[in-house]
Amino acid sequence: MAKKKKTPDDDVNVFAPDVDKNIKKGSAAIAKILKSDPEGGYIRDLIECHLSDVGYDTHDDLVTALALAFGEDIGQTITFPLFANDPLVLAEYERLKVPERVITFLRYLVALYGAKAEHAAMRMRHPEGLEHTRFGTNYDSDGRVCDITMKLVNASGDSITITDEPEGYLFLVYQMLEQLSSIESSDADSGTEITDAFEKIEAKLKNSIKNRIKEVYQ
């Protein structure tokens, strides 16, 4: 796993020194492979094989397969950006002076397989974690919003659909923010944003309750 640190010079995130060395060695080895196999077909075939059917073990299986076939340095160099599915990882590679040909090849791999690889990483970390949310607004005959339908899909592909009034979702968000605000955040700004959002929704809920009471007694 890559560890991050801050440099005093430019204050950017970089890989730990031991990981830097592995990536440099891995990128040099990939460059040699691309000389004899310009399209990187052997690497792509292996990745395709393991990502054709994503399961709980896909992440570890692919890491192991790449290490067995091409060596741990190559496996690590490929899997960092692939499973992260994030261009910022490759930006770090550019800082390490990874050959442009290798950078281009890795970008292509991420473009081809990044979404599936990220899904595999998610299934490994949180098999029942949230993957997709979909919302649909339902209107009455007068064109007013009457309720909202929400569909939650987890990493395993299971889903649940909920249809409720907007106030029901407001209370749901309130409960979620209440839980999040009770967790100590390492990011002070993030913690403040959650608290602010929590207080705003709390105020809206109180107003909603007051309005409901007025409606009942009018």
pLDDT digits (tens, 9 = 90+) for 67-118: 999 999 999 899 989 988 988 888 889 888 899 999 999 999 999 998 888 8
**Dihedral, CA of residue 194, residue 122, residue 132 and residue 47, to nearest 10:** 140
140 and 166 in contact (C-beta within 8 Å)? no
Same-domain status, 102 and 12: yes
Using pLDDT thresholds of 50, 70 and 90, give the confidence band for residue 206: low
Same-domain status, 212 and 194: yes
Backbone angles phi, psi at 152, to 5 degrees: -110, 130
Same-domain status, 18 and 54: yes
CA-CA distances (angstroms) from residue 66 to 49, 96, 117, 122, 197?
11, 22, 13, 19, 44
Same-domain status, 17 and 94: yes
Same-domain status, 42 and 94: yes
Same-domain status, 118 and 42: yes
Enumerate the β-bridge partners of residue 1.
Answer: none
Question: Using one digit for the tens of pLDDT, what is the confidence trace for 7-60?
Answer: 444 444 456 667 788 899 999 999 999 999 999 999 999 999 998 887 778 888
Is the pTM higher than 0.75?
no
Cβ burial of 145 (10 Å; 0-12, 13-18, 19+) is exposed
Mean pLDDT of the chain: 80
Final residue belonging to a domain, choices 125, 151, 182: 125
Same-domain status, 54 and 84: yes
Same-domain status, 31 and 106: yes
Same-domain status, 107 and 30: yes
Task: Read off the tokens for 35.
Answer: 């000389």
**Cα–chain center distance at 106:** 18
Same-domain status, 20 and 95: yes
Same-domain status, 30 and 82: yes
Q: Which helix (H) or strand (E) holds 104?
A: helix 100-125
Same-domain status, 10 and 74: yes
Q: Into how many domains does the chain fold?
A: 3
Range of the domain at 183: 165-218
